[in-house]
Amino acid sequence: MTDLIRPSRRGLIKGAGAATLAAGVGMPAISRAQADVIRIGHLTPRTGFLGPLGEYAVMAVDLAVEEINAAGGVMGRKIEALKEDSVNPQTASTKAERMIERDKVMAIVGEISSASCLTIAQVADRTKTLFINTGGNSDALRGKDCKKFMFHIESQNSMYVKTAGRSLMQQGLISGKKIYSLTADYAFGHDLTSVAKRFMTANKGELVADDLVPTDATDFSAYLLKIRNAKPDLVISNLAGNQITNFLKQYSEFGLTFPVAGFGFDTALAWAAGKDNFLGTWPVVWHHLIDTPKTKAFVAAFTKKYGKPPENQAWGDYMMMKVLAQSIAETKSTDSIKLMEHWEKGAKFDLLKTREGYFRASDHQMMHEMYTVTAMAPAQVKNQWDIFTSSAAVPGANESLEIIATTPEEASCKFPT
């Protein structure tokens, strides 16, 4: 091809176009760094059905790194985050391996999918590198699948269920009531439903039906007809991702009026449902309306940078970068074992809430306050973000933070030695 030797203008444009395309599709955003930075790996799903939440996580990491470095870094060293799309459990584990072995990251932060958490944790344990889960909820990760080098800033399913459950008990919607639940038909949904069932049995709620909903189902009309026929006292969503948005939009479309609540939730899904469709009571690990100065500062900084408030997934990844930086400064070390000991001894962290949190040594779960949010009537809503009101922090100020977490009987973790 003579074109290769003397490229025509047309060929050049084509080539440039193709190259731009290839660069956009194939190249992960890795920037090579100097030796004196502290490198932290960040893996989270950025495509697929958890991608929307992953995007918030990435925005939050960028903000946290920017703030830490602007304040002079940690021990005089800058923080650098290597961020990649974890895609699926297999890819997540390959990328974790590469980050640890080739890029020498001191820790890996991130994830939303519980299945990917597990494969990354296996790599972390083998290479003795810390992995801190910021978004995977399953109790199994803190129970039978727990790992010495895996910590969790994201709450476990039990904490979500007990937080929302407490609010539902106060509303008189559990004890002696007929409950209908919809469950996302994959690992997370199944784990959540088993925890929810345990809660309902313990509190004398009667589960009249539990429908498994395929993850790629978008239409809920069939379920809505069944729910209407069953006349439950409460409809529980154990759904995930866009399912929640679809469910909320169609629930209001069909005009059903049974009270709705959920045991798994992300603020972004409520925002997507919109003020006219969002309803019910839902648990969150954090939300942008918490009335503390630290939360207000974070929300202001995030909104300034991105033009929209952070959702709960952003909190997890932002917070964990801050916790890591603080811990490195406190231990004067980036060594995984030293950090782990520091955390296991009960180091306290300001998590933008009213009380400080700490990692529980027995299963490495962060013990911290949670909240339930309740949809506001559309007429009271002033903007597209502030569409719910919040409960007080759960547990209450005079209670142990551990009362909403799993008990040793519910889930026991034996770290492999």
Partner 1 sequence: MTLFLQQMLNGLLDGVYYLLIALGLSLIFSLGGIVNLAHGAFYALGAYLTIVISPYLGFSGAFVAAPVAVALLGVVIERLMFRRFYRSDPILSLLLTFGLAMVAEQALRWYFGAPPLSYSMPRELRGQIFIGDFVYSYYRTILLVVAAACVMAIWLLLNRTSFGRVVRAGVQNPDMVGALGISLQPYMTAVAALGIGLAGLAGVLLAPIYAIHPAMGQEIITPAFVVCVIGGLGSFWGVVAAAILVGLVKGFMVAIDYSAGSIAAIYFLMFVVLLVRPRGLFGERIQRFE
Nearer to partner 1, 38 or 269 (CB): 269
State the minimum distance, in angstroms, from the CB of residue 183 to partner 1: 9
Rank residues 53 and 260 by Cβ distance to partner 1 and give the closer one: 53
Q: Minimum CB separation from partner 1 for residue 43, in Å?
A: 16
Task: Give Cβ neighbours of residue 351 (< 8 Å, ≥ 6 apart).
Answer: 286, 319, 357, 366, 368, 369
Tokens encoding 141: 């990760």
Q: What is the DSSP letter of 210?
A: E
Amino acid letter for position 42 = H
- Angle, alpha carbons 343-349-355 (nearest 5°): 130
The token pair at 81 is 């985050």
Residue 251 or 358: which CB sits closer to partner 1? 251
Query: What DSSP character marks residue 310?
Result: -
Question: Which residue, 266 or 363, has its beta carbon nearer to partner 1?
Answer: 266
Q: Provide the 3-class DSSP secondary structure of residue 169.
A: helix
Task: Give the residue among 128, 194, 129, 207 at the shortest CA–CA distance from 158.
Answer: 194
| CB 254 to partner 1: min, Å | 6
Nearer to partner 1, 56 or 359 (CB): 56
| CA 285 – CA 28 distance, rounded (Å) | 30
What's the min distance (Å) between Cβ of 60 and partner 1? 13
Q: How far is the CB of 171 from partner 1 (least distance, A)?
A: 26
CB 324 within 8 A of CB 314: no
| Cα–Cα distance for residue pair 210/229, rounded to 1 Å | 14
**Shortest distance in whole angstroms from residue 404 CB to partner 1:** 28
Nearer to partner 1 by Cβ, of 53 and 340: the residue is: 53
- Non-local (6+) Cβ contacts of 50 within 8 A are 112, 113, 241
Q: Which residues of this chain interact with partner 1, rule CB under 8 A?
A: 21, 24-25, 46-49, 51-56, 185, 211-214, 216-219, 221-223, 225-226, 228-229, 242, 245-246, 249-250, 253-255, 268-269, 271-277, 311, 384
